[in-house]
Each structure stands twice: as structure tokens, then as C-alpha cells.
Amino acid sequence: METSETFIDSLLRQLPFDIGTDEFVQNPYRFYDEARRASGPVHRTPSGDVVVLGYFEARAVLSDPRFGHGARTAQDRTGYGVPARTFLLTDPPGHTRQRERVRRAFTAREMLSLRRRIGDVAAGLVREAARSGTADVVADVARPLSARVVGDLIGVPEDLRDRFAQAAALLVRGMDPPGLIAPDTRERIARARVWLARDIGAALRRPAGAGILRALARGADGRPARAETVATCAQLVAAGYETTVGLIGNGMHALLQHPDQLAWLTAGGHSEQACAAAVEELLRYDPPIQLAPRCALVDADIAGTPVPRGTVVFVLLGAANRDPRAFPEPHRLRLDRQPRHLAFGLGAHYCLGAALSRLEATAALTHLLARRPRPTGHPVSYSPARIARSIQSLHVRLDPAEGHRGSVAAER
């Protein structure tokens, strides 16, 4: 187990607030606000690194090629929970080449073909979950939906699906500063990395593979590029499973917390189209990934603040999404906004799974709203993870029979 301090670990000492507390897990936005009020949109840490809290500054960093991963954030990747050589932590031109190989699986045509399947899976899960009149949105709908959709897309063999889902939950936890993770959980994360890599290797060797695994197994020149392929698949598992679970759980919770907005959406017939628009505000309001790290590859600046080469820049996506300069009344969920949020990042590393997650969340929401979700009074529990933010269980009452449901079928 690694013991030296990673750049992610340095977050614990350098941020102007303590992310180790339960208060932070419950509501990080209060802390972001206080920090932004105290130091403005760009905060300089005691060691000279930088924390970006402002929306415009976050956009500037993420879309500026002077900021990438370079040596510090890329080499020091142990806290990120993904193996080396993954393109999330590489810079062009290597990044561009690796990303292109995976991007082909996420084309608009591919998404269109997945849309019906996602709708059917979501409908079935919600129907089953609603049978008894109460359900856990996360355990009964979000998690199995995400596992099936991403499992299909990647081409995870049936017998390995549960293991991949378990690994995904652990890898996401492994993105946090190791100092915040109990030693036994760190051991489990380390073991999961090893067996996930082994399982991916085994799946790649099967002749009748499917999805991205099969496409990647062939390699660019027809021969498998093994280490890179395994790393890419592991990254898709880490990036793809739990994030969408977070979006559906956090999003449903936000709606229950804002009954006026829930009523507004429901009154409009909660069509698939209206739910798709609502998902954008839900992504702004409580994004499942809170931090995107970067490193200054050359001497650069952020909105005039000099940032010497080698400086680590922590872009707080959750803080940027609540910057009052960009979003008036940022702490209010307002479904009539059309927010240009940063939940999926921006620039060269913009999330490849954005369209897929949007489809999943829209389908889940459309079918859940058709059964009039109401709070049960059961407390909500959050995952202890800090960089990923997701509700772990969200109990709701649901009508066993579906009410009027916009135009899900008609729009297909």
C-alpha cells in the first residue's frame, strides 16, 4: 500500500475547508460559498497550488491546453483509483489517439440504438420497484439500470457483471485522498484493481466478446494493445457505473427537496422531453463528480492570476456550478434554467459518457415520475466519497400503477 503523500492527499491540507467532515459530505456547497467569499474565484493554497471555485475560471482552465496532466497529476495517480496509462490522465497527442478509439463507441447512432433499450430497462425496474408501494431509488432503479447499460456498452460478460459493479463502487471511492479512506477499505480497493484488471484480461481473451471490449481487443492495427486496453476498460468501469447512479439518486433527491419544481414537472405531463431538460438543472445543482484536477504544463495564468509551470490546479466543478455570477440564485433548483453546467467537465477531457448518462437519467426520471414519488421520511444516506458525490439510498413511496406519462412511447 502506498504511503507517500499524493497530490490528491494534499487536498486535505490545502483546501480552505475540511473535506474530511461529515458536514462536508452532507453539503459541500456551503463550504465552497464561504471559500469563494473569502478568497474569490481563484484560491491560492499555502504551497502555491490553486483551487478554482468560480465558473468562468473553471471553464477557462478546462478548455486551455496549457493545463493538462503533465508530471504531477498523472504520475501521482495512485489516489485516482485508475491504473496507469488511462487517457483520463494523459495529454495530447497520446490522449487524442486513445480517446478516439473509445469515442467511436459513443456515436449519436449508437446512442439512438441504446435509447429504446434503456427506456425498456428503466420501465421494468421501476415497475418492479413500485410493486410494494415503496422503493429505494438507488438500489432498485439507479444501480441496476447503470450496471446493465454500461455492462452492455462495454460488453461485460454476464457472469462477470456483479464483479464489475462491485469493482466500480470501490474504484470510485479510490478517487478520494487515501488519508480519508480506512485502511481496510484501501486494501479492498487495491484488491479490486487487481481482480478487475484480471477479469478484463479474461473477458478480452474470449472469442465472442461484445461492445467496446471487443472493439478495443482488436487494437488499432488489428493486434491487441493489452496494457493500454485493460487500463481504458478499467477507466470506463470506474467512470461509467457510479456516476450515473449519483445523477439519478442526487437528482431525485433534489426534486423531492423542491416540491414546487417536482409539481411543475409533473403538471407538465413529465414527458421524456421535459425530463431531459430537467436533468440538465439536476446536473448543475448536485453534480456526481465534484473535482477535476489539472497541472500547469507551462507558465500560464487563470484570469490574470499567474500560475507557474507544475502548479496543481483543483477545479471544483460543484463550486463552479453554484457560482452566483453564472447562475442567479444558485442554491435554488430551477427547472426553467438551461444551464451550461460543468458536471461533465469541458474541453479535451469532456465526458465521453455524457449522452449515455443523460439517456439513463431521463428514462429513470420519466418512469419514476409516472408513479408520483413521495418522500417516506426515511433518512437519506450519502456515500462517504468526496470527489464523487452520490446518495446511497433514497426511499420513496410510489404508486404501484402508472399514471399519465407524457409521451415516452409516442416520442420513440
Give contact residues for ligand HEM (rule: CB under 6 A). Answer: 87-88, 99, 150, 153, 235-236, 239-240, 243-244, 247, 287-289, 292, 317, 343-345, 349, 351-353, 356-357
Name which of 19 and 150 has its Cβ closer to ligand HEM: 150
SS3 278: helix
Shortest distance in whole angstroms from residue 98 CB to ligand HEM: 8
Shortest distance in whole angstroms from residue 336 CB to ligand HEM: 21
Name which of 217 and 245 has its Cβ closer to ligand HEM: 245
Shortest distance in whole angstroms from residue 38 CB to ligand HEM: 25
Shortest distance in whole angstroms from residue 206 CB to ligand HEM: 20
Name which of 122 and 150 has its Cβ closer to ligand HEM: 150
Shortest distance in whole angstroms from residue 400 CB to ligand HEM: 29
Measured N-to-C along each axis, helices 183-205 and 161-173 cross at an angle, to the nearest 10 degrees, of 140
Ramachandran assignment for 329, one of left (phi > 0), alpha (psi -120 to 50 degrees), beta (any other): left
- Taking the C-alpha atoms of residue 293 and residue 168, their distance in angstroms, rounded to an integer, is 20
- Taking the C-alpha atoms of residue 225 and residue 245, their distance in angstroms, rounded to an integer, is 31
Name which of 327 and 344 has its Cβ closer to ligand HEM: 344
Name which of 11 and 247 has its Cβ closer to ligand HEM: 247
Q: Considering Cα of 124, then 196, then 178, then 353, what sign does the dihedral take?
A: negative
Shortest distance in whole angstroms from residue 343 CB to ligand HEM: 5
DSSP symbols for 87-127 = GGG--TTHHHHHHHHHHGGG-HHHHHHHHHHHHHHHHHHHH
Find the residue with minimal CB distance to ligand HEM.
353
3-state secondary structure 258-276: CHHHHHHHHHCCCCHHHHH
- Taking the C-alpha atoms of residue 71 and residue 78, their distance in angstroms, rounded to an integer, is 13
Q: Considering Cα of 332, then 333, then 335, then 341, what sign does the dihedral take?
A: positive
SS3 content of the chain, % helix, strand, coil (to 5): 55, 10, 35
Name which of 43 and 389 has its Cβ closer to ligand HEM: 389
Q: Considering Cα of 259, then 264, then 267, then 269, what sign does the dihedral take?
A: negative
Name which of 266 and 390 has its Cβ closer to ligand HEM: 390
Is there a contact between 244 and 150 (Cβ–Cβ < 8 Å)?
Answer: yes
Which element (helix H / strand E) includes 393?
A: strand 391-393
Is there a contact between 152 and 183 (Cβ–Cβ < 8 Å)?
Answer: no
Shortest distance in whole angstroms from residue 220 CB to ligand HEM: 17
Name which of 69 and 367 has its Cβ closer to ligand HEM: 69
Name which of 130 and 363 has its Cβ closer to ligand HEM: 363
Query: Any idea which residue has 443523460 for its cell?
Result: 358
